[in-house]
Amino acid sequence: MKQPGDINANGQQLLRVTAAKGNDFNARVWVLKCRRCGEVYGCNGADAWQRKCPRCQQAAAGLPIPAERDGEKWTREEHIIAFNLYSQIPFGSIHMNNPKVIELAALLGRSVGSVSFKLSNFARLDPTLQARGIRGLQHGAKGEEAVWDEFANNSEQLAFESARLLAQYLGQTVEEAAEIDVSDLPPPGVEREAIVRLRVNQSFFRRRVLSAYKFRCCVTGLPMPPLLVASHIVPWADDAANRLNPRNGLCLNALHDRAFDRGLMIVDEGLRVRFSQRVRNEAADAGDSADWLLAFDGRELILPPKFSPDLTLLARHRERWRTAA
């Protein structure tokens, strides 16, 4: 156990080595994260190899986590990583007890309060929240605005860069940090890199959309993440500029996602779900098995508190399938 990313036999992962003094002879504080329960805590560097988790393995309490960079100016890299996290936290969950906020603070060497403040500043720039009269903080720094604009104008590159930076801090590969499936990837090379980049960005889009909808299907309200899909309104291949735009996404269960993707279901001007005549005809012969699918015909979408779907993109979806219906 020497560098960030290493994990000891008890499932404790090294996040960061600090220069702060521990409470043992000559020891420095190392920051560990429990892979079992997510607890983040400090310990003496010399003990790290055999440390157990204070929360779930009944070990001694951890040392305070040093926040030695607190008060220093935020770098562009830190802003990019913070924006990545902001994009994945549901509205209303940015606070000092959020485990993701605590972990990012430990990783950057900043106080939990300052990370939480930074994330709240991003909310100030969110157009959807501004439209609802949520102003966020009035005195945000320039760094947030610069990164927000960069993401808006160059989202594919920035999304991947943010995942790569986060992986670097964690001592992991970008594949590990973004939790993407690598079992079917070709060996290292140009082709693999291109696929990894694509999957990392698709995973970013999925997290962004699902967290915006608080992990509930916007048609049925189903709150089961393994059955949920971040559905593109205008397909990935058809509009490069809107590939990672969360307002080009709907959080749908897998069945309604397929129906939407194939134009069997559209969203009308009043944001109500409508099924095509074809589906309704076929459902008549399908008995009970199609009930759940069609039960939501005419229902209004359950809109998310942020990143609500773009009406012009929904109109493009309708137009695309108008003749097919």
Query: At its nearest, how many Å lie between Zn ion and the CB of residue 11?
Result: 8
Q: Is 55 in the site for Zn ion (CB under 5 A)?
A: yes
Among positions 11-50, residues that touch Zn ion (CB under 5 A) are: 34, 36-37, 39
Q: How far does Cα 253 stand from its chain's mean position? A: 18
CB-nearer residue toward Zn ion: 38 or 171? 38
The count of chain residues that interact with Zn ion, using the rule CB under 5 A, is 7
Site string for Zn ion, 258-277 (x = CB under 5 A): --------------------
Count Cβ atoms within 10 A of the Cβ of residue 85 and give its class: 0-12 exposed, 13-18 middle, 19 or more buried: buried
CB-nearer residue toward Zn ion: 28 or 55? 55
How far is Cα 196 from Cα 48, in angstroms, rounded to an integer? Answer: 32
Q: Is 131 in the site for Zn ion (CB under 5 A)?
A: no
Query: At its nearest, how many Å lie between Zn ion and the CB of residue 166?
Result: 21
Query: At its nearest, how many Å lie between Zn ion and the CB of residue 179?
Result: 19
CB-nearer residue toward Zn ion: 55 or 272? 55
Strands 273-275, 40-44: pairing is unpaired
How far is Cα 255 from Cα 261, in angstroms, rounded to an integer? Answer: 10
What are the b/e assignments for 18-49, b being 16+ CB within 10 Å? Answer: bebebeeeebbbbbbbbeeeebbbbbbbebbe
Which residue, chain included where needed, has tokens 């979806």? 317
- Grouping H, G, I as helix, E, B as strand and the rest as coil, residue 300 is strand
**Residues 43, 48, 53, 180: which binds Zn ion (CB under 5 A)?**
53
Among positions 91-110, residues that touch Zn ion (CB under 5 A) are: none
List phi, psi (to 5°) of 92.
90, 0
Query: At its nearest, how many Å lie between Zn ion and the CB of residue 37?
Result: 3
The residues of the shown chain that bind Zn ion, judged by CB under 5 A, are 34, 36-37, 39, 53, 55-56
